[in-house]
Amino acid sequence: MKYADEFRDKELATGLARAIRAKADPSRAYRFMEFCGGHTHAIARYGLEDMLPDNVRMIHGPGCPVCVLPAGRIDMAIALAERPDIILCVYGDLMRVPGSRGSSLLKAKARGADIRMVYSTLDAIALAEQNPSREVVFFAIGFETTTPPTAVMIRAAEKKSLTNFSVFCNHVLTPPAMRAILDSDTPIEIDGFVGPAHVSTVIGTEPYAPFARDDRKPVVIAGFEPLDMMQAILMLIEQVNDGRHEVENQYRRAVAGGGNQRAIKEVAALFELRDQFEWRGLGSIPASALKLRSAFAHLDAELRFAMAERVVADNPACECPAILRGLKKPVDCKLFGTACTPETPVGSCMVSSEGACAAHWTYGRFRDHQRRLAS
Amino acid sequence: MSMHQRRLDLKNGCVDLSHGAGGRAMAQLIAGLFHEAFGNEWLARGNDQSAFDVATGRMVMTTDGYVVSPLFFPGGNIGSLAVHGTVNDIAMAGARPLYLSASFIIEEGFRFSDLKRIADSMGEAAREAGVAIITGDTKVVERGKADGVFISTAGVGVLPDGLDLSADKARPGDRVLLSGSLGDHGVAIMSKRQNLTFDTEIVSDSAALPGLVAAMVAAGGQGLRLMRDPTRGGLAATMNEIAQQSNLGFRLQEDAIPVKPAVAAACELLGLDPLHVANEGKLVAVVAPEQADTVLAAMKAHPLGRDAAQIGEAVADDHRFVQMATSFGGGRIVDWLSGEQLPRIC
Amino acid sequence: MCLAIPAEVIKLLADDMAIVSIDGVSKEVSVALIEEIAVGDYVILHVGHALAKIDPEEARETLDLLRQMGAVTAEVSP
């Protein structure tokens, strides 16, 4: 695969691993947070931890949009899908996210709710066209990467004058999440950020400037092939060693400084900021999520179906909140691997393939045993 | 006086409830369509059951249900899949498959022409595999109750003397051999599913494995510990099952596992791991190190094993982890797939 | 969900759609978010939409840099 395979090359990886080892100062630790579900997944799937020296640690931040979706929003979607006139379209990962009391969209589907898995927003449009007597609702989630596709879908719905289509909007923003991490009551030590790959193709590099300038944290935007990540880690180590705190762009082949202007404009035309939005694990964050502008109110499922807001407390034993903020690791959670597994997830971190717990369980848990043997 | 019976309109006609009622219509459907396609002396007798001589020694029996959607896919259909899947289950024990039964649950309104295509495929697959479909059943259910057709099979075969393949025979140091590329069937199916609109040149690998198995049994002797075909859940599920049953761990090399480029690309597009995708014409074998090279050579010499490779080995491991060295250099676990990303894959 | 993959544009269609190909797998996707698109361009795909074009020159430079980074250390380390 062109532009993928070259960035997965084992030879180059070995060279980079050596370079990282040479640059990392053995007398200190380096803790870098990544914010992108794709990065979490790549680190686990390629076993990148094995290639880094022990004093360079990767912390998983809240970069997985499925993971940060609160249970209450799932409950709202289930309630909507249980109405007989509704077809609810969702991305696959959402199906098993736990709502309250062990519910999920998958279980609701088994009980008869018409919930359909889609791979693209345009599939939802096709479903609306094919089912004129039903109401088709698209469960929109995602960071800035996924919002433009939702915008394109809304334009298509308007162009086709669809009267049976609407969107349950849960789009969230990356910089407010980074801000919440840094401003947290229980802050963690982070020496720098690996900037998200495809969020950055949309928003460009400017939005990260405050974190470099004001919080004095190096930010390196990285592609999510494994060589991209390793190069970004090397660049971060160099910034830390040099005492610099800048925004650097490792993913230059896909990220332009100004981002994707067309995508930015489309999103601005259709969406506006919500005052507050609940994030699983991070609490309520101001100006961190989007809703449809009033001109598109007829496409807003929350208004169209008078959806009642539901706030659900997380399972107190579930450590997703601390894990999403990088305070704890999956193995620190008492439920990890016992009550909470991919088959029986308690928290959202175990559901999505980008969640820290799922990634660790699926790819990396053998290291826990190795560490126990070594200690 | 012979009854005048209108011939089955195989081109334009459909199955209706009378074809499942046990009357003339059903008899006509069975004779005109199924017996024609399966053509053998047992069915010609027209009994509800068929008798065959029993070999001395041990016999093997298996049963399977087929609900694949869509019914027709690149490289096969529900019928050929049903025959291949059943004979392969028998072959994984090292046994020679002999006879199959086939039971059809057909939805009212199903086109004869589609049913004939399926039946003809089954007959052809059975002949190629050297087995006969000697008994069957037909039921018709109302529209909406069967999604076209469901097929249920049973199969019997005979074990060669002294052959007892079993996971508990595996030992640390045994080699893991894979007969060919992963993911072909799952991707061929996905290419036809409604939501996924990409075209690939990937064709299901659905095939009968008894011939390959016979060559491996002859080459491996006592060194052949067990064989499994990685269907639903892919190689990952199969290796984890073997690990659990043998009480061992496994260490695989990603570089050694064959995956066609188009399959890899399709999996990337859909966020799937080829290790989790179903195969219907592949097998994995655990072989003692002394016989591994001989068995591998026998596999490569067979048309269904041209891309065979040694992909790893068994190790002592209390946790029974299946671990893999990635092509990038780091390590990861190969775990069961959670949830159902590909429903109705076989 | 965050899956993104580079794909080659092999045909432009009406309504801001295009056919892309990756190693023999073709798929119809939306290119509505890309300003200028031509056959032969490589794009990053995400949930059925092209989000960005890949700049071949930058890709080459990144790979060259990666090779240099690996090589330098080899000379320096004992």
Residue of B198, B202, B263, B267 to mutate for C, most C C-beta atoms under 10 A? B198
Q: Nearest-CA distance from C15 to chain A in Å?
A: 10
Into which CATH architecture does domain C5-76 fall?
A: Roll (2.30)
- Residue A374 is predicted with a pLDDT of 66
Peptide bond preceding A226 in cis form (omega within 30 of 0)? no
Q: Please judge whether B333 and A117 are an interchain contact, meaning their C-beta atoms are less than 8 angstroms apart.
A: no
CA angle B69, B74, B76 (to 5 degrees): 75
Q: Please judge whether C69 and A11 are an interchain contact, meaning their C-beta atoms are less than 8 angstroms apart.
A: no
Contact criterion met (CB below 8 Å) for A75 and A47: no
- Residue B194 is predicted with a pLDDT of 43
Domain that holds residue B39: 17-158
- Residue A82 is predicted with a pLDDT of 96
Query: Would you list which residues of chain C are within 8 Å, Cβ to Cβ, of chain B?
Result: 1, 3, 5, 22-28, 45
Domain endpoint, select from B110, B140, B158: B158
Average pLDDT value over all residues in chain A: 91
Residue B260: which region, alpha, beta or left (left: phi > 0; alpha: psi -120 to 50)?
A: beta
Query: Chain B within 8 Å of A13 (Cβ-Cβ)?
Result: yes
* Model confidence band, residue A269 (pLDDT cutoffs 50, 70, 90): very high
Rounded to an integer, the average pLDDT of B17-29 is: 83
Q: In CATH, what number is assigned to the domain containing residue B191?
A: 3.90.650.10
Residues B148 and B172 reside in one and the same domain: no
Residues B171 and B112 reside in one and the same domain: no
Class of A5-65+187-249 in CATH: alpha beta
The answer to which of A42-46, A87-91, B117-121 has the lowest mean pLDDT is: A42-46
Q: In CATH, what number is assigned to the domain containing residue B33?
A: 3.30.1330.10
Chain B contact set for A92 (CB, 8 A)? 271, 341
Handedness of CA B26, B32, B33, B37 (dihedral sign): positive
Higher pLDDT, A161 or B337: A161
pLDDT digits (tens, 9 = 90+) for A112-159: 999 998 877 888 999 999 999 999 999 999 999 999 999 999 999 999
Rounded to an integer, the average pLDDT of B23-41 is: 86
Helices (H), chain B: 24-29, 36-38, 41-45, 78-91, 112-129, 184-190, 210-220, 234-246, 261-270, 289-300
What is the rounded CA–CA span in Å between residue A152 and residue A145?
A: 12
Domain presence at residue B189: yes
Contact criterion met (CB below 8 Å) for C2 and A37: yes
What is the rounded CA–CA span in Å between residue A274 and residue A309?
A: 14
Query: Chain A within 8 Å of C13 (Cβ-Cβ)?
Result: no
* SS3 track for B183-227: CHHHHHHHCCCCCCCCECCCCCCCCCCHHHHHHHHHHHHHHEEEE
- Residue A102 is predicted with a pLDDT of 83
Residues B22 and B104 reside in one and the same domain: yes
Number of domains in chain B: 2
Residues B202 and B292 reside in one and the same domain: yes
Q: How does strand A219-221 pair with strand A192-195?
A: parallel
Domain presence at residue B75: yes
User: A84, exposed or middle or buried, with CB in 10 Å at 0-12, 13-18, 19+?
Assistant: exposed
- Residue C15 is predicted with a pLDDT of 92
Q: Residue B150: helix, strand or coil by DSSP?
A: strand
Residues B131 and B189 reside in one and the same domain: no
Domain endpoint, select from B104, B139, B158: B158
| C12 has a pLDDT exceeding 90 | yes
Contact criterion met (CB below 8 Å) for A2 and C5: no
E-only strand ranges, chain C:
5-12, 17-22, 25-30, 42-46, 49-53
User: B103, exposed or middle or buried, with CB in 10 Å at 0-12, 13-18, 19+?
Assistant: middle
* Model confidence band, residue B340 (pLDDT cutoffs 50, 70, 90): low
Using CB atoms, which chains have 3+ pairs under 8 A with B?
A, C
Residues B297 and B176 reside in one and the same domain: yes
* Model confidence band, residue B3 (pLDDT cutoffs 50, 70, 90): low
pLDDT digits (tens, 9 = 90+) for B156-184: 999 998 899 999 999 999 999 999 999 99
| C7 has a pLDDT exceeding 50 | yes
Q: Please judge whether B332 and A44 are an interchain contact, meaning their C-beta atoms are less than 8 angstroms apart.
A: yes
**Could you state, in order of their start, the residue ranges of all structural domains in chain C?**
5-76
Q: Please judge whether B199 and C26 are an interchain contact, meaning their C-beta atoms are less than 8 angstroms apart.
A: yes
- Residue B300 is predicted with a pLDDT of 98
- Residue B2 is predicted with a pLDDT of 47
Rounded to an integer, the average pLDDT of A359-370 is: 79
pLDDT digits (tens, 9 = 90+) for B285-337: 999 999 999 999 999 999 999 999 999 999 999 999 999 999 888 888 898 87
**Could you state, in order of their start, the residue ranges of all structural domains in chain A?**
5-65+187-249
H or E element, residue B141: strand B132-141
Residues B109 and B254 reside in one and the same domain: no
What is the rounded CA–CA span in Å between residue A321 and residue A306?
A: 29
Domain endpoint, select from B124, B158, B192: B158
Residues B303 and B234 reside in one and the same domain: yes
Higher pLDDT, B243 or A70: B243
What is the rounded CA–CA span in Å between residue A248 and residue A232?
A: 9
Domain presence at residue B11: no
- Taking alpha carbons only, the member of B46, B83, B342 closest to residue B210 is B83
Contact criterion met (CB below 8 Å) for B182 and B274: yes
